[in-house]
A and B are shown apart, each in its own frame.
Chain A
Amino acid sequence: MKEKVLTEHFGLENLYKIDVYQKQGGYRATEKALKKMKPEEILDEVKKANLRGRGGAGFPAGVKWSFVPDTDKPKYLCVNADEGEPGTFKDRYIMSHNPHMLLEGIIITSFCVGIHVAFIYIRGEYEAIALRLEQAISEAYAKGFLGKNILESGFDLDVFVHRGAGAYICGEETALLESLEGKRGNPRLKPPFPASVGLWQCPTVINNVETISNISHIILNGAEWFVKKGLPKDGGTRIFSVSGMVKNPGIYELPLGTSLKDIIFKHAGGMKGGKKLKAVIPGGMSAPILTADEINIKMDFDSLVEANSMLGSAAIIVIDDKTSILDVLKVVTKFYSHESCGQCTPCRIGNSWINKIVKRIADGKGKKEDIDSILRLASNIEGNTLCPLGDAAAMPILSITKKFRKELESHL
């Protein structure tokens, strides 16, 4: 059985062009879905595939779609291509190598949910990729896969690329909606959830690039096949972004449940420059840190929750023993204090205080009570904010401070 699903043809020259993509069987899934399947059959298949969200939260995509109410209001699809979680770069690869795979997913998802306008919200820095997507979209219009009466099915769909402008918070789904509406990216209070009240108060499906890119494969090969590629409750493969002190940083598409140790030492070639492993962040910066002796772990949503961490965006950041954990904490706390949108006091003030304390320690002016202050402040952020950024900040800060307390205290 072939291992790879999403990245299988990435080595192919000009795969981003529609002719090359079609030669590899591209747009067959769209034809199958629009000509031979009913929307409810598609929904059923995606639900059975147990495709969980690849952006970070891991919510089952099919279940999310089924929350969209039957209504006369327009419905929208927003593809989250904001990819801001530090350590994550997989969506950049998908969009630059195979934009049509994403478009197919968008078409099938929209057909399934009854959506006629889709937006791809892409981070502003990815300008070249936004242009590539726009090129792919115009190719798809020209071939009749987008626009009016697609493949004579009577189904209409328009797709637009919307560029962000530098704000981590806009990867949070309700902040993304605010941003798309032309506002600051301040997250909304949930509920109501976007599936019922989203973009312009209309029902809106929001899925990550990688999630949507799996759809055409599920339609072509079936839910059973997809589940076999991963785990019963967590179907398919995952694209791991591996960076930091490894020999071969890059993307690795592997079955869900692959061991973290194997990803680092087999697939990514082990430690760079003969250095020793100190710690790993397994799911993007927001995931609680794992120490070197905690890496015998399966990389799937449930296994990482059991280990008090999270799979998140599946971005693995490898830290070596020559790196001071204080330097790591400095980068982490600077990031969250910078990226807090400022709406919730615990996150806005808490993160900036923590960052000031960490900087003070790094300047050699730390006080005895500083470590406990960091823990107290971070605990006061956790669970006390509108959106997950608060928790996303507290989790790494708490885990780093607790697991490396001795090393941090040596700086006092």
Chain B
Amino acid sequence: MSLEFSEKAKKKIAEIVARYPQKEAALLPVLHVTQREFGFISAVQEKMVARVLGIKPIRVRELVTFYTMLSRQSLGKYHIQVCTNLSCSLLGAGNFVDYLVEKLGIKPGETTPDKKFTLSTVECLGACERAPCMMINFNYYGDMDPKKVDEILDGLK
């Protein structure tokens, strides 16, 4: 794995930094770019980001350990995030998670051995009208049931 940002990422970071009167404000957006680039943010990436923004690495870690979308571990190619908040729970999110646990053979928070899927349970995704709902990477899926999720997961290469 390269320990440099790609040219594309560097360009994006410069663009982001230019928006703010203070460089530090670019930290969260730059971490989104970093996660997209490397798949996760470990101590190595923390240092890279700190260097780019001229801040201490601890400032980066403060954010990585606070915001749930930032991951310190590598995730599967497809990150399945199932909402288990109230509206989704009322409409069967619990059973739906059980189904995925059985189908994938992993518990929430785990990744399949082939690194294809990571399963997570998350708080409200803001798609309660389509409960139970989930995200795979950044795509939303609603009105989930075992049959639908089978079709969706089988379609992922």
Binding site for B on A (CB under 8 A): 74, 83-89, 91-92, 123-128, 160, 162-168, 179-185, 200, 241-245, 249-251, 281, 285, 315, 317-320, 323, 327-328, 331-332, 335, 338-339, 341
Contact = CB atoms under 8 A, between A and B. Distances in A.
Contacts of B122: 166
A165 B67 contact: yes
B138 to A, nearest CB: 4
A86 B135 contact: no
B63 A183 contact: yes
22 contacts: A84-B124, A86-B86, A86-B87, A86-B124, A88-B124, A88-B126, A89-B127, A125-B126, A162-B29, A168-B123, A181-B22, A181-B24, A182-B22, A182-B26, A185-B66, A200-B21, A243-B87, A244-B90, A249-B128, A250-B129, A318-B90, A331-B86
B129 A166 contact: no
B25 interface: yes
B32 A323 contact: no
Nearest to A181: B25
Contact of B68 (A165, A285, A317, A332): A165
Contacts of B42: none
Contacts of B69: 124-125, 165-166
A27 to B, nearest CB: 24
B49 to A, nearest CB: 11
Interface in B110-157: 122-131, 135, 138-140
Contacts of A332: 86
Contacts of B131: 243-244, 249
A26 B138 CA distance: 30
A168 B68 CA distance: 10
A10 to B, nearest CB: 14
A2 B102 CA distance: 51
A251 B69 CA distance: 27
Contact of B123 (A74, A244, A318, A338): A338
B128 A243 contact: yes
Contact of A92 (B27, B62, B126): B126
B68 A166 contact: yes
A181 B62 CA distance: 13
A180 to B, nearest CB: 6
Nearest to A121: B28
A339 B126 contact: no
Contacts of B90: 244-245, 317-320, 323
Contact of A163 (B24, B25, B29, B63): B29
B66 A331 contact: no
B129 A179 contact: no
Contacts of A124: 32, 67, 69
Contacts of A160: 19
Contact of B85 (A86, A91, A163, A323): A86
Interface string B53-65: 0000001001100
A85 B125 CA distance: 9
Contact of B128 (A86, A125, A165, A327): A86
B75 interface: no
B62 A183 contact: yes
B9 interface: no
B67 A164 contact: yes
Contacts of B63: 165, 182-184
A370 B144 CA distance: 36
B45 to A, nearest CB: 14
Contacts of B67: 124, 164-167, 185
Contacts of B84: 331
Given A124-B67, A182-B25, A245 B128 contact: no
Interchain residue pairs A-B with the least CB separation, the first 5? A243-B128, A165-B67, A182-B27, A166-B68, A166-B69
A245 B91 contact: yes
Contacts of A281: 86
Contacts of B21: 74, 200
A179 B123 CA distance: 19
B31 interface: yes
Contacts of B32: 124, 163, 165
A178 to B, nearest CB: 10
B106 interface: no
Given A164-B67, A243-B129, A251-B129, A180 B25 contact: yes
Nearest to B27: A182
